[in-house]
Chain A
Amino acid sequence: MFAEFLQFLLSGVTVGAAYGLVALGFSIIYNASHVINFAQGEFVMLGGMSTVFLMAAGLPMPVAVVLAVLVTVVLGLLLEKLAIEPARGAGVVPLIIITIGASIFLRGVAQVAMDREFHAMPPFTGDAPIMIAGATILPQSLWVFGGMAVMGMLLWYFFARARFGKAMLATAYNPLAARLIGVNTRLVLLCSFGLSALLGSVAGILLAPITFTSYDVGIMLGLKGFCAAILGGMGHGAGAVVGGLIVGIAEAMGAGYISSEYKDAIAFIIILLVLFFMPNGLFGKRTTERV
């Protein structure tokens, strides 16, 4: 009984950690621009798929991983420069539609440049399961969880301590005031896309050995990450991580105790419930601003 529960919990936490990273990517771009970047899932796909293909080309895994992250970040920056920046004055909704177009485009390019097959990436450090109180966990799960913890701490440090990180936060809270103190808010927007691409690609690479990867994994992973971001409160860092874990765990429990056919439906039920009952999410904006 307990071992079974623990097993579901562990697998939920593993995918949940990856959802959390994707959700952080959504939140960072949202904070910089109020845009929901629907190409976020494609960053996840690009991370995993590029690693697989770079390894197939003969590169050792660590090199392939670093290059895949770089490629994704460059594509994220290009997306901002070529598609978002020129339309910046057009308002939020056109920008969101542009990101949807970009996601279709990136998926198409991945299909042509790589392929339409499913790929299994080898785990980072073997696949001998580790036993914990009757449940098993793959070493790769520890990589996913550790990866999220490290990225989360680096991000926390960046936004709480680094000068440019604070300027990015300031832009989220008050873009006009940020410009008036001399923050280059265009650069903030560009960096938000780079940072989100970084987070997405890391999530995709960490998860690929567990879940397989293909040109279209970004659709589901993107939507789950979006759901996590909404649940945590769009734009809230810790909320994104907690939201990711909750979505992952709920999904694993649903798949384990109800039926694995409902696995993907659970994220959508969560979105609907959140939007209906607490549209600001768990950690969403409390009104601290006095006018």
Chain B
Amino acid sequence: MAPEARSPTSPATSPAGPLLEVRGLCSHYGRIQALHGVDLEIAAGELVALVGANGAGKTTLLRAISGVQPVTSGDILLAGESVVGASASRRVRSGIAQVPEGRQMFGPMSVEDNLMLGAYTRDQRQVATDLDGVYAMFPMLRERHRQAAGTLSGGQQQMLSIGRALMARPRLLLLDEPSMGLAPNLVEEIFATVEGLKESGTTIFLVEQNAYAALSIADRGYVMETGRVVLSAAGRALLADEKVKAAYLGL
């Protein structure tokens, strides 16, 4: 008897489809349209970078994927299932976690409270080992576990923000400009962390102003301009692209 006696039509067993698929996504702030039909997809295990100038709509896209920004048309599929109608809370439960732009700490709460809140949607009995995992990844957080998150330095807050998102055990991790405003050595550390997460099998969608660093570690990249995806290719290929060089790499 075959060990996998699953129904051949069950979508959950089909490994072919992407983990995340965004189709014709539009979003507005009042009358201003911020996303004009965005299409993209991310396969399980991939590290995909999204670069684009200020105001291109990168944050809006990530917020729409997380369900905290209303969508006016289009679809978002996670492992083949539409989540556009689901609440932000349901999307976290189904495996989407975000490290938001500007880190978004619960400032007066302790480092450990911030991390534990990251696992808010999960069975609390299962999170202790994950907490240890995050502390092993960022020993500095363990040292400061009782300190108020708002008193950490920018780099430490960024690590806490990543740790908090990991506490949800995401299938898909969205990172919104994790290197923003950090000193060069910390930027390197953050990118090394992101690469490490990819190695460990997490699917990552990385939004970055630092296009060179992001495209260097990404499997594939998308370039966004004024609410539209204008280019997509393998990360290295985009680095070599003349238009990308001129617009985002300052070359």
Contact = CB atoms under 8 A, between A and B. Distances in A.
A174 B107 contact: yes
B106 A170 contact: yes
Given A181-B168, A182-B89, A173 B107 contact: yes
Given A173-B106, A177-B104, A183-B89, A288 B150 contact: yes
Contacts of A174: 104-107
Contacts of B117: 166-167, 170, 178, 181, 183
A181 to B, nearest CB: 5
Interface in B138-191: 148, 150-154, 157, 164, 168
Contacts of B100: 176-177, 180
Nearest to B122: A182
Interface string A152-192: 00000000000100110110011011111111100000000
B87 A166 contact: no
A184 B89 contact: yes
A139 B154 CA distance: 54
Interface string B110-121: 000100111011
Contact of A179 (B88, B153, B157, B164): B88
Contact of A181 (B92, B108, B148, B152): B92
B23 interface: no
B203 to A, nearest CB: 17
B98 interface: yes
A117 interface: no
B236 interface: no
Nearest to B151: A288
A235 to B, nearest CB: 11
Contacts of B120: 163, 167, 181-183
B148 A288 contact: yes
Interface in B114-139: 116-118, 120-121, 124
Contacts of A177: 100, 104-106
Interface of A is mostly: helix
A166 B92 contact: no
A163 to B, nearest CB: 7
A170 B109 contact: yes
Given A170-B117, A177-B100, A182 B93 contact: yes
Nearest to A186: B87
A261 interface: no
B152 to A, nearest CB: 7
A89 B100 CA distance: 22
A182 B121 contact: yes
Contacts of A184: 87, 89
A183 B118 CA distance: 10
Contacts of A179: 66-68, 88-89
A167 B102 CA distance: 20
A173 B88 contact: no
A291 B148 CA distance: 14
Nearest to A176: B104
Contacts of A182: 88-89, 91-93, 120-121, 168
Contacts of A173: 105-109
Interface string B50-69: 00000000000000001110
Contacts of B118: 181
A179 B113 CA distance: 16
Which of A173, A177, A180, A289 gathers the greatest number of chain B CB atoms within 10 Å?
A180
Contact of B68 (A170, A176, A288, A291): A176
Nearest to A290: B150
A291 B107 CA distance: 10
Pick the 3 closest A-B CB pairs, nearest first.
A182-B92, A182-B121, A177-B104
Given A179-B67, A182-B120, 18 more contacts: A163-B120, A167-B120, A169-B109, A170-B106, A174-B106, A177-B100, A177-B106, A178-B117, A180-B92, A181-B120, A181-B168, A182-B91, A182-B93, A182-B168, A183-B117, A288-B107, A290-B153, A291-B102
Interface of A: 163, 166-167, 169-170, 173-174, 176-184, 288-291
26 contacts: A163-B120, A163-B124, A166-B117, A170-B106, A170-B109, A173-B106, A173-B107, A174-B105, A176-B100, A176-B104, A180-B88, A180-B104, A181-B92, A181-B117, A181-B164, A182-B88, A182-B91, A183-B120, A184-B89, A288-B107, A288-B150, A289-B105, A290-B150, A290-B151, A290-B152, A290-B154
